[in-house]
Structure 1
């Protein structure tokens, strides 16, 4: 089910000069950006759109995504599928009872991503098993001071 992010989930935040800055999620609320193909279902290339409506979701992905949604986290699907695939994608998500808030189409295709943002970004690589997340410490690349 597609719903909008609730205003209560966002806190108005100001910088040290009193200027309004981007909203911050309420304490404990996570903002999940989740890929579709190869993450919550088999990898369906954009060049084979006829397969998009018939593939099956990974059961653990469906269970965990809906659990996170029920816990109040924000679920946004971020996919390399094109805007022309939005309707079949939304129908597929509804058919399989995924709960989500938004969907971003046109994610860059291919290999490695290096995300640069003015907000804290956490990344988890899907390696074939969708489960709850645990905290592990790893080295990360950061901008030089």
Structure 2
């Protein structure tokens, strides 16, 4: 795994009670899929293809740029723990900088993430670029 210090977490309180630490303002915590997002889509059923997966254009440049800006880069993949070695080897071979990898993401997509923290989702549609802000309609819990 690429080594870099995580940004310092800031203590936080809500209604006079401690809550989970927060990232400093401006620091983003990226969870980035691997297959079909930063490289060609390789299913877990064909792990022999993982080591030779082709990197998608600009994925390496943009991910490493975010890392150098001080953002947290964590790969979140449907690959299983048995694919850890080939995955870390592939990331290193291509020069990806990152803080961690989470294996075992549910397969199938169409995720509905519920969390007590702000969650922002960006769907990869074939082009890795810097992110831009857009106003969109979202579903929220009724107040």
Q: How does 1:1-145 map to 2 (within 5 A)?
A: 2-3=2-3, 5-6=5-6, 8-17=7-16, 19-145=17-143
Residue ranges of structure 1 left out of the alignment (5+ in a row): none
Deviation track 1:104-135 (CA, whole Å, cap 9, x = no partner) reads: 00000003000000000000000000000000
Give me the whole-angstrom Cα distance separating, in 2, the residues matched to 1:113 and 1:59.
25
Deviation track 1:34-57 (CA, whole Å, cap 9, x = no partner) reads: 000000000000000000001121
Task: Return the TM-score normalized by structure 1.
Answer: 0.95
Q: Secondary structure at the match of 2:89?
A: helix
Give me the whole-angstrom Cα distance separating, in 1, the residues matched to 2:131 and 2:64.
14
Given that 1:9 and 1:29 are in contact with CA atoms closer than 8 Å, whether structure 2 keeps it comes out as: no
Counting matched residue pairs gives 143
Q: Which runs of 4+ in 1 moved over 6 A?
A: none
Deviation track 1:47-105 (CA, whole Å, cap 9, x = no partner) reads: 00000001121130000000000000000000000010011000000000000001000
Task: Return the TM-score normalized by structure 2.
Answer: 0.96
What is the root-mean-square deviation in Å for CA atoms of aligned residues? 1.1
Residue ranges of structure 2 left out of the alignment (5+ in a row): none
